Amino acid sequence: MLAILGRTWPCPTSCPRDVTVARLKVVLARLMETSMRVDVVWDRYLDNSIKESTREKRGKGVRRKVAGQTKVPGNWPDFLRDPTNKVELFQFLSEKIVSTTFPDGKQVFATSGASVVCSGTDHSMPPCDHEEADTRIVVHLQDALESGCTTCLVRTVDTDVLVILIGKYHFLASKYPSADIWVAFGSGKNFLFLHINAICSTLGKEKSTALPVFHSFTGCDTTSSFFGKGKKSVWEAWGAYTEVTDAFNFIVEHPHAQITVDCQEFQMLERFTVVIYDKTSPLVSVNEARKELFCQKNRTGENIPPTKQALLQHPKSVHLTRLASGKPRPPGPKKQKKL
């Protein structure tokens, strides 16, 4: 069994980091009882990142040097607002993890910047340029499946990871038919296990593959959502206008394609947006829908669709998000011995 841990663990506020590392090692040791391999995957923090504006909204933190005997700051969220703090913390933890002696036959992989460090194995993973752990988890998952793992558990509290795994499931299942992928999601009373195989079987291949683009188009970290429209209402709109699935999958299959107001895919997205705001409307133009909802149904300016030109920026943002996130790649070729 494989266990993949994404992001960070909460840290106590009154103990040295060496104690925090010890607690982390306890978590890994428990996972080792039922897993042959554990991967720990962190985010990377790049200059001129597409997520820079999102991080700026969270405010700036206080810069602190990360060292073994330094106490964890009392204001942990403030510490995490500084990207350099997190870069140093992740490298520090990765070094401590792989320097630990684990039982024979157990493997540990941990990301360190673009590289991957490991313990208990001669197998090495190639560098990965993905910025976020969300997509990098899929790279580690594929490497584990390539190495012979079948049952895989991903531990996360991030909905984006769940969406990405669903979107990539059929690609992975086509290469590794025995793959059995689970997600340990949430925390506390909201913790639950989700079976990706079962979810994708229910959704079907087309809808599963389209889910990441649907999620991005209707609002995520790097694309704005439609005002007053949560995921439940846009999901219902997708059920009412299933034809838009073809447009979502077009973006999946053609990440470099240019979306224009005249292309068929944008017309589907436009009709989908109309349905989001009025499921009974027969209109296909957001401009016409704006006029009808405002003049005839007394909708306020905040509760009508965006203009056509404003909507056109949405699929462009989706394209940019997908390109910036990186495309999970197969493991690099094995090194050949020199003759």
Give the percent of the chain with pLDDT over 90: 53
The confidence score (pLDDT) of residue 130 equals: 86
Instruction: Report the pLDDT value the prediction gives residue 52, as an integer from 0 to 100.
Output: 64
Per-residue pLDDT at 13 exceeds 70: no
Residue 271: exposure state from Cβ atoms within 10 A (0-12, 13-18, ≥19): buried
Percent of the chain that is helix, strand, coil (3-state, to 5): 50, 10, 40
- Residues 312-328 have pLDDT tens digits of 998 888 877 766 555 54
Helices (H) and strands (E) in the chain, counts: 13, 7
3 and 155 Cβ atoms separated by less than 8 Å: yes
Rounded Cα gap, residues 183 and 280, in angstroms: 37
And the tokens for 187?
């925390």
Q: Give residue 23's pLDDT.
A: 75
Instruction: Give the pTM.
Output: 0.86
Match 């979306």 to its residue by tokens.
259
Give the residue among 11, 26, 49 at the shortest CA–CA distance from 321. Answer: 49
Query: Position of tokens 């011995």?
Result: 337
**CA atoms of 91 and 109, how far apart (whole Å):** 13
Tokens for 65, please give them: 């040097």
pLDDT at 327: 52
The token duo for 203 is: 């959704």
Judge contact between 62 and 82, C-beta under 8 A. yes
For the ranges 72-76, 243-247, 266-270, 313-317, the lowest mean pLDDT is seen at: 72-76
Tell me, what's the pLDDT at 51?
65
Which segments of the chain are extended strands (E)?
2-6, 37-41, 107-112, 115-119, 151-156, 180-185, 192-195
Query: Tens digits of per-residue pLDDT, 152-180?
Result: 999 999 999 999 999 999 999 999 999 99
pLDDT band at 53 (very low <50, low <70, confident <90, very high): low
Mean pLDDT along residues 257-279 = 95
Strands 151-156 and 2-6: parallel
**Long-range contact pairs involving 302-310 (C-beta distance under 8 Å, separation at least 24):** 302/227, 302/228, 303/227, 303/228, 303/277, 304/277, 305/226, 305/273, 305/274, 305/276, 305/277, 306/226, 306/273, 308/261, 308/270, 309/261
> CA nearest 235: which of 226, 265, 315, 183?
226
Contact between 39 and 5 (Cβ < 8 Å): yes
Q: Average the pLDDT over 29-48 and give the result.
A: 86
- pLDDT above 60: residue 339: no
Q: Name, in order, each residue with C-beta under 8 angstroms of 238's C-beta and a sequence gap of 6 or more.
A: 214, 244, 245, 272
Domain boundaries, the chain: 2-203, 209-324
pLDDT band at 262 (very low <50, low <70, confident <90, very high): very high
Greater confidence (23 vs 329) lies with 23
Percent of the chain scoring above 70 in pLDDT: 84
Q: Is 153 helix (H, G, I), strand (E, B) or coil?
A: strand
Distance in angstroms (rounded) separating the CA atoms of residues 149 and 176:
10
Question: Which pLDDT belongs to residue 156?
Answer: 93
DSSP letter string over 14-65?
A: SSBHHHHHHHHHHHHHHHHTT-SEEEEE-----TT-TTHHHHHHT-------
110: which strand partners?
40, 117
pLDDT band at 100 (very low <50, low <70, confident <90, very high): confident
CB 222 within 8 A of CB 51: yes
